[in-house]
């Protein structure tokens, strides 16, 4: 299985704000770059290309040296609903008045079960 990384559009890029190159994300996680790439392949993280160079991930996806709790499950549900990497990132960072904030804000606040339920509804 090869790693394919989508190229991100300008609007989604601006929604995210702060990005980490995969090598820096791997360092923050205490992993090799190879293991970090495996997290992308396994959909535990999503990364995109921003211009040239290595894949980058939203910085908020890593907290206290770990992948944000609740994120991998949400990414799996989004992938199962047919969302690609860019669509998943856009969905996570787009404000939703019913949360309030964005789904990623809710995950950061520990409300990942609620976000995952919303993501599951996208598949129907």
CB-based contact 99:62 (threshold 8 Å):
no
Confidence grade of residue 6 (pLDDT, cut at 50, 70, 90):
low
The yes-or-no verdict on residue 1 having pLDDT over 50 is: no
Q: Which of 102, 99, 107 is nearest to 63 (CA)?
A: 107
The count of residues in the chain is 124
Helices (H), ranges, the chain: 10-16, 22-29, 33-41, 71-80, 85-93, 103-108, 112-122
pLDDT confidence of residue 70: 95
pLDDT (tens digit per residue) in 7-34: 677 888 888 989 999 999 999 999 999 9
Report residue 113: phi and psi, to 5°.
-65, -45
Over residues 58-100, the pLDDT tens digits come to: 999 999 999 999 999 999 999 999 999 999 999 999 998 888 8
Per-residue pLDDT of 46-62, as tens digits, reads: 999 887 788 999 999 99
Nearest to 61 by CA among 99, 27, 98, 18: 18
Residue 83 CB partners (closer than 8 Å, separation 6+): 91, 122
């Amino acid at each position: 299985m090869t790693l394919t990384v989508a190229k991100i559009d300008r609007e989604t890029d601006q929604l995210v704000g702060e990005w980490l190159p995969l090598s820096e994300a791997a360092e923050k996680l205490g992993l090799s770059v190879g293991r970090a790439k495996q997290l992308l392949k396994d959909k535990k993280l999503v990364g995109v290309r921003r211009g040239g160079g290595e894949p980058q991930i939203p910085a908020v996806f890593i907290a206290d040296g770990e992948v944000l709790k609740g994120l991998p499950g949400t990414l799996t549900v989004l992938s199962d609903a047919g969302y690609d990497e860019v669509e998943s990132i856009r969905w996570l960072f787009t404000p939703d008045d019913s949360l309030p904030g964005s789904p990623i804000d809710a995950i950061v606040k520990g409300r990942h079960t609620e976000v995952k339920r919303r993501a599951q509804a996208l598949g129907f």
